[in-house]
Structure 1
Amino acid sequence: MVSRAFGWIQNPNNFGKLKKVVQIFIKDSQYYNDLINGELEKIYSEERRNELLNLLLTDNSHIPFDDLKGAKRFPDGFEGPKTRPNQVAFGLVQLAAGNPCEFSTEKYKTWTDDYTSGAYVDWALTLNFLKIDQNNIVSITDIGNKFATSPKGSWKSSKSYEASREEKDILVNAFIAYPPAVRVLKLLKENKQKNGSKALLSKFRIGHELGFSGEPGFTSFSEDEWFEVLSNQPVTSKSDFRSNVEGSSDKWARAIASWLAKVGLVTTEKLHKLINSNDEYTSHAYKINMAGEMALKRAEGYSKYSPSTKYIDWTMLATSVTNKVYVRTRRAYTIKAIQSSPSIEQIQYYLDERGLFEGIGVLKADIKGLIRFGLNIIDENKKVLLKDNINNFRIPNINVTDELKDRDLQKIKSSLQNQLENMDPADIEIIEMAWKKSPTKSKNTIDATLFEAKTVEIMKKYIGLAGEHLGGPKKPDGFLYDINNFGIILDTKAYSQGYPLDITQQREMQDYIDDAKNKKPGIPKNEWWRIIPSTMSNNDLNFVWVAGDFTGNYLEGVKNTHIKSGINGTALDVETLLRLSDKVASGQMKKTELPALMNNARLSLV
């Protein structure tokens, strides 16, 4: 099984560096000759230089992935911080994706770290300029050969490359074969048709509708919630917030839209919103132009055009979701099933034969995800029509065992997708968000903010509450309300082991309740309580903790908070939140029944 996953790229965006990566595979290309004639001298050791030189001279058409990407290496005897800027060059693409020599006067500036080099190889694989076999050996494709040998564009600076007309033509062909890029163009075209030629789509609105929306790897902030939180940031923090606070799907949207902009298919503008009398903006908003519309017609086979063949790979069909090997395989065979027959019954039978059918709700969720991935699929209830031509991609042989298939979270999600007919599958993915443990502190902060925002979004979208995602120091994560009935002070906790509701969190909630009751100017300084409607009495306030699950003496914490504050509250797990939301959305419950469920215990629908 291929160990490398590609298909979703965040950071690489320089077509000049991409071209150098692909030219490594073409003997006597400009960058191949650069390597042979001096670039390899930047490799940190003579032994490693000779290994790579021998590889290029003997067979540069098939190169092991690790020799391309390089590795984390530091100077011999180095005692400083083991950070990316301090790495030495070890692989070919660490040189190719570094700064061009003509813009660098210091030797260390002309190569990059192994993370960045790996991302550039992934980008070339994603656009089908390169391909990788089951032994992780990389080679060039026909379209990659055309790109590598096309007339060169021009470097404007070490970070800016203007592609030539010929390069742009090849890149456009690659993009209309890449389903997520087609999806971005389609969303922009639909927005133009609905809202006019001046209408913009932010990376957040695109991210909400891109890929397998909602699951880890495809998280997205609500645009409205993001702007609300931005408006509450100190002026000195707004720039960092705009740069760093985004979901993974928002990053995919930003990256893809930036590529499309560089080849002239979309334009980029700032999107402004007036929030609390302040002008707020994001720099990442887009609209399609005429060239983009023509490219979309080619992609979809409109009018005189035959649809472009879409290039996909098994690894593109899930990223960070739990049990991703199984999920990728289920979705891959779903594509094969739709290619085989448009009948929903035949598709079910095809999957069931392979131990992959988990219910109609899961199947419909996967189909919706494949549409958001960028495949031209028409879902007509009992028929599913695939309008695209797709490459004959390979699915690894796996044994679909219960252990592989029935991970706990996957089992819960599959059950909910089959039962909650009124909910978007993207919102059911909050199950994974609630249990996610991030590898770094900064990533954990963003993931926690995503969980807060998604919780507020679900309660507004399905239960019909008003309110805002707040978050930040001295503020609850949100305040939601039904104007004539009740308000909710919301605190969310994304814990990988369940939430114990410790004394610190109880004290924080008590502070929020005191702020909401007293409404004293200047306390706290952010005066978050001004969101509470003036007609709402203190008796109408409630508190709610939301988590994946609760552990320890959490019930005692809920009761203690009730006794000390004099208001009612509850502990609400995300599965129950989803079931509650579905009941209200379907009309089985009224939102006015919600206060009765907040009875100072765990919220139950039984």
Structure 2
Amino acid sequence: MPNTSEANRLYEGEGKLLTNYGWVQNTSNLSTVRDTVELVAEDGMNHNALMRAIRKQRIENGMSLNKWTWDARCRCKAICATGMVVLDRRNNGYVLTDLGKELILSPKSESIQNGKRELSNEEIEIFRKGILTNPPVVRVLALLNENRKSGRGAMTKYDVGAELGFVGDIGFTHYDAEFVVASNKSFNDMEGDSDKWARTIISWLKQVGWVIDGEKFNCYGKQLRSYTTKTDVDRVLQYTVKSTIKYIPIEMLCSDHHPFTHLIQCRRAAILEQLEKVPYMRKSELVSNIALQGIEIDKQQVDFDIINLQQAGIAIFKEQSYYRLVDKIILDKPIVIEENEAERINEIEKQIEEKVTHYNGSIPSRIVADLIRYGYDGRNSSTLFEMTVNTMFKFLGYESEHLGEGKGRVADVISKYRSHLYAKSYGIIIDAKAYERYNFPAGDVRKMKEYISLHGEQLLEDKIPRHVFAFVSMDFTNEESALNEIARDTAVNGTSITVDTLLKLGEMVTNQEVNIADIYDWYNTNKRFTIA
């Protein structure tokens, strides 16, 4: 057995995140991805702790420790790229998504094929949803499907690799199949990085039933596998992909082998952030707006970067002189703490200490800490805040579901109280806002009206006769004007709930001082939520 003491020592204690996410090679079996997801603690896990857990799992399964650290890093990237976790930058680790939690609870198949466990139908459905949050997966699926529809037939991993990833990035090498043959190498032994990404993604797509084997190609006397899509992928790309929110860690936007990794990542992230703000934007506006952030960029670089972002699977269209970001995205960037932020962060940590101590015994400490930490963190942790708000409403006793991730234009959370008395049941349509002081911009007010129209009908169909809306944030300004406008235009009342008040409510529910069956009217005021 190889000496692994040095590798083990490196993964002691708390560790940092990897330098690249979003692109995966060699964790091609989704049953292995599930095995890894099951290792992630319910309340999240530091990177090093997960690495150690993977090593322990390998030992328990009788697997070799040769190159285990490389395999473990690939697995960490895979659970992120399949939508089962998101990065927790505060704790340098991973947090389960709702899909990840659903996967852990889903039944496993007993069928073994070629030494690997096949997926159950339930697992397949969950992975179908998860992998579509990863733009490179969508890119590969679209390439294979377009080739089929255009009559060009099946594609090899080298064909796909040629059109996948970033041009000019030495972390995205590619070989032609003819070059592999000319080099007297086998197709299993010689691949560029992009070809490896393609092979792994194709394997995932085969396991969820969207891609099948095509006829083998004869390449100068050597047989090379090819792949194509099933016809039902047309609908997947036309409808499901468009409604799925794409998760984009900034590390996805350039490889860590590029000589200017940080610069390129920041520049491409800035392009996405600008295009997110408006339906269309001129190239000249993109250049000037990004330049104001202190990032050097010109029109040629904009064109180049957008070509690369498109090859990574991000849907950006050019219409005359305008660019349009079609995808709904979550751009996950590192948390940068400026010097003048240090004092504020320290105050947040003190508040967490105070609240966790105060609510000890009545509310789980992880919920308390996460509501405060993610609530103050703005867009860096918006999804994590939504997930924590959902968890809090479940803790209060509601039947609650987080919809904000990959479900299209919907509310963040829907919480329901069901009573055996039909008339007492009610639902809450929740928009969770990770802001220190949320001021109800017009676009968000409009969205809430749309959410009420959509989910109100769904709640009625679900035998929930009454519903209200609620905004949850750290604090609010100008809330009554916004709340009254929404109520006037929808005929549905609502409220704004601070995290502090939500925690007080949790304490009262735990202490049986109040029952959620009796507090519908507390949400129905068009004012800030108060404890009666």
TM-score range, shorter chain: 0.5 to 0.7
Following superposition, the deviation at residue 17 of structure 1 comes to 2.2
Following superposition, the deviation at residue 209 of structure 1 comes to 1.1
1:66 aligned residue: 48
Matched, 1:296 2:237: yes
What SS does the aligned partner of 1:356 have?
coil
2:211 aligned residue: 266
Following superposition, the deviation at residue 131 of structure 1 comes to 2.5
Following superposition, the deviation at residue 155 of structure 1 comes to 4.9
What SS does the aligned partner of 1:139 have?
strand
Q: Among residues 227, 239, 252, which one is paired with 2:178 in the alignment?
A: 227
The C-alpha deviation readout for 1:87-109, integer Å capped at 9, x for no partner, is xxxx111233x3884xxxxx465
Q: Among residues 126, 129, 135, which one is paired with 2:81 in the alignment?
A: 126
- Whether contact under 8 Å (2:24, 2:197) holds in the other structure is yes
For 1:295 and 1:216, how far apart are their aligned partners in 2? Answer: 32
Distance change >3 Å, CA 111–CA 138, structure 1 → 2? farther
1:318 aligned residue: 254
1:535 aligned residue: none
For 1:328 and 1:375, how far apart are their aligned partners in 2? Answer: 14
Q: Among residues 202, 220, 244, which one is paired with 1:308 in the alignment?
A: 244
The C-alpha deviation readout for 1:370-423, integer Å capped at 9, x for no partner, is 111111111234100111111253355499xxxxxxxxxxxxxxxxxxxxxxxx
Following superposition, the deviation at residue 63 of structure 1 comes to 2.2
1:494 aligned residue: none
What SS does the aligned partner of 1:116 have?
helix
Counterparts of residues 171-570 of structure 1 (less than 5 Å): 171-195=127-151, 199-222=153-176, 226-227=177-178, 230=181, 232=182, 237=184, 240-273=185-218, 275=220, 279-283=221-225, 285-301=226-242, 307-319=243-255, 320-341=257-278, 342-397=281-336
Following superposition, the deviation at residue 142 of structure 1 comes to 1.2
Following superposition, the deviation at residue 179 of structure 1 comes to 0.6
The C-alpha deviation readout for 1:54-96, integer Å capped at 9, x for no partner, is xxxxxx6232211211xxxxxxxxxxxxxxxxxxxxx111233
2:104 aligned residue: 148
The C-alpha deviation readout for 1:111-145, integer Å capped at 9, x for no partner, is 97121112112111222312332231322121110
What SS does the aligned partner of 1:385 have?
strand
The C-alpha deviation readout for 1:334-360, integer Å capped at 9, x for no partner, is 101111242222211211111224211
Distance change >3 Å, CA 61–CA 110, structure 1 → 2? farther
TM-score normalized with structure 1 length:
0.49
For 2:125 and 2:288, how far apart are their aligned partners in 1? Answer: 42
What SS does the aligned partner of 1:9 have?
coil
Which letter does structure 2 place at the counterpart of 1:167? E
CA RMSD of superposed structures (Å): 2.5
For 1:182 and 1:386, how far apart are their aligned partners in 2? Answer: 15
- Whether contact under 8 Å (2:250, 2:331) holds in the other structure is no
The C-alpha deviation readout for 1:458-510, integer Å capped at 9, x for no partner, is xxxxxxxxxxxxxxxxxxxxxxxxxxxxxxxxxxxxxxxxxxxxxxxxxxxxx
For 2:260 and 2:282, how far apart are their aligned partners in 1? Answer: 28
- Whether contact under 8 Å (1:177, 1:299) holds in the other structure is no
Which letter does structure 1 place at the counterpart of 2:271? T
Which letter does structure 2 place at the counterpart of 1:227? E
Following superposition, the deviation at residue 20 of structure 1 comes to 2.0
For 1:247 and 1:108, how far apart are their aligned partners in 2? Answer: 27
For 1:316 and 1:183, how far apart are their aligned partners in 2? Answer: 14
Matched, 1:17 2:16: no
Matched, 1:136 2:92: yes
- Whether contact under 8 Å (2:271, 2:290) holds in the other structure is yes
What SS does the aligned partner of 1:358 have?
coil
For 1:387 and 1:372, how far apart are their aligned partners in 2? Answer: 14
What SS does the aligned partner of 2:77 have?
helix
Aligned residues: 319
Matched, 1:115 2:74: no
Following superposition, the deviation at residue 154 of structure 1 comes to 2.7
Following superposition, the deviation at residue 299 of structure 1 comes to 3.9
Following superposition, the deviation at residue 297 of structure 1 comes to 2.1
Distance change >3 Å, CA 63–CA 334, structure 1 → 2? same
What SS does the aligned partner of 1:242 have?
coil
- Whether contact under 8 Å (1:6, 1:316) holds in the other structure is yes
Distance change >3 Å, CA 207–CA 213, structure 1 → 2? farther
What SS does the aligned partner of 1:184 have?
helix
- Whether contact under 8 Å (1:129, 1:144) holds in the other structure is yes
- Whether contact under 8 Å (2:83, 2:131) holds in the other structure is no
Percent identical residues:
24
Distance change >3 Å, CA 205–CA 63, structure 1 → 2? same
What SS does the aligned partner of 1:195 have?
coil
The C-alpha deviation readout for 1:26-68, integer Å capped at 9, x for no partner, is 6xxxxxxxxxxxxxxxxxxxxxxxxxxxxxxxxx623221121
- Whether contact under 8 Å (2:39, 2:50) holds in the other structure is no
Which letter does structure 2 place at the counterpart of 1:256? I
What SS does the aligned partner of 2:214 have?
strand
1:498 aligned residue: none
Which letter does structure 2 place at the counterpart of 1:356? I
For 2:27 and 2:99, how far apart are their aligned partners in 1? Answer: 19
- Whether contact under 8 Å (2:17, 2:47) holds in the other structure is no
- Whether contact under 8 Å (1:211, 1:373) holds in the other structure is yes
For 1:250 and 1:352, how far apart are their aligned partners in 2? Answer: 35
For 1:316 and 1:139, how far apart are their aligned partners in 2? Answer: 18
For 1:157 and 1:99, how far apart are their aligned partners in 2? Answer: 22
Stretch deviating more after TM superposition (288-297 or 311-320): 288-297
The C-alpha deviation readout for 1:234-256, integer Å capped at 9, x for no partner, is xxx5xx42112221101111110
Distance change >3 Å, CA 298–CA 327, structure 1 → 2? same
TM-score normalized with structure 2 length:
0.56
Q: Among residues 37, 49, 55, which one is paired with 1:94 in the alignment?
A: 55
For 1:14 and 1:132, how far apart are their aligned partners in 2? Answer: 22
- 5+ long unaligned stretches in structure 1: 27-59, 70-90, 102-106, 302-306, 400-606
The C-alpha deviation readout for 1:150-193, integer Å capped at 9, x for no partner, is 11123516841210101000101112211111101111122112
For 2:336 and 2:244, how far apart are their aligned partners in 1? Answer: 28
Following superposition, the deviation at residue 2 of structure 1 comes to 4.8
- Whether contact under 8 Å (1:16, 1:155) holds in the other structure is no
Distance change >3 Å, CA 274–CA 336, structure 1 → 2? closer
Q: Among residues 113, 126, 129, which one is paired with 1:170 in the alignment?
A: 126
Which letter does structure 1 place at the counterpart of 2:307? K
Following superposition, the deviation at residue 228 of structure 1 comes to 5.4
Which letter does structure 1 place at the counterpart of 2:272? I
- Whether contact under 8 Å (1:95, 1:111) holds in the other structure is no
- Whether contact under 8 Å (2:180, 2:190) holds in the other structure is no
- Whether contact under 8 Å (1:179, 1:373) holds in the other structure is yes
What SS does the aligned partner of 1:201 have?
coil
For 1:340 and 1:262, how far apart are their aligned partners in 2? Answer: 37
